[in-house]
Amino acid sequence: MSALSKNVKVALLQFHAGSDKQANLTKAKEFALNALKKQPDTDILVLPECFNSPYAVDQFKNYSESIPTGETTKFLSELAKENNVNVIGGSFPELGDDGHLYNTSLTFNTVGEIVAKHRKVHLFDIDIPGKMTFKESSSLKPGNKATVYNLPGVGTLGLGICYDIRFPELAMVAARKGAGIMAYPGAFNTVTGPKFWTKFGVARAIDNQLYVILCSPARNPDGGYQAYGHSMVVDPNGNVVVEAGHGEEIVYAELKPEEVDEVRQNIPIGKQRRFDIYQNVADTAISSDL
């Protein structure tokens, strides 16, 4: 059985978020409707990381919401339902029932139901002398599950957020559980982005013989954290199918099940792994129950 049910049309919405949450949600809807106007048969809309708030560790609490009762969850659900489209809702700060904050991504089906919830597993804590210091763990808690799920009418997907892409295990788990797509809403910066963004997308695609979707915020002309942009789709052979620039725009791609099937048949690494020598991480992964 193919990892994808059919040809899947995706639209990646690359825009930047400001300090006004309602304005950010309004912009997200405008970009979504523009994408659907240009490509009415879109199967999945993909939003960027932290699309309802600035990407700032000292601001996450001010924009955090509970799930499923928060306004951003309701907004995404209505967006999906009203337009009969699946939505990978980027990410936004979640206030958990435990009182902790999480960087969380939700996926909605075409009737507005949550079909996946991923809390960012790997928090972005770095210190590059003279260039950048950033510590997500100063305000966020990490998630504790790999997220693999079935999207009706599309197929099986894996989900990660930004820094999660540096750790190959989440994509490995997804691919070995049948995923044909690995999606990463992400906000790499202008220091790490040029060095690594494309390389990680290509690496995860080739290693796991699936499509990789990377959706970034646009660069913010008003200052603050500067996202790299360059939202892209990489095919199972590691080819960049489409790539945005660094400004606000929408890019489109069509994901084809035969491309996943062909590369997995021609180079059958899934059957050639030596689990008598090394462990299969998919067997021991703690996976989402959604």
Active site residues: 49, 120, 162
Q: Which residues contact 204 (CB under 8 A, 6 or more apart)?
A: 165, 168, 171, 182, 210, 212, 234
Q: 80 near 112, Cβ under 8 Å?
A: yes
Q: 76 near 109, Cβ under 8 Å?
A: no
CA–CA separation, 100 and 67 (whole Å) = 13
Backbone angles phi, psi at 200, to 5 degrees: -70, -40
SS3 136: helix
SS3 52: coil
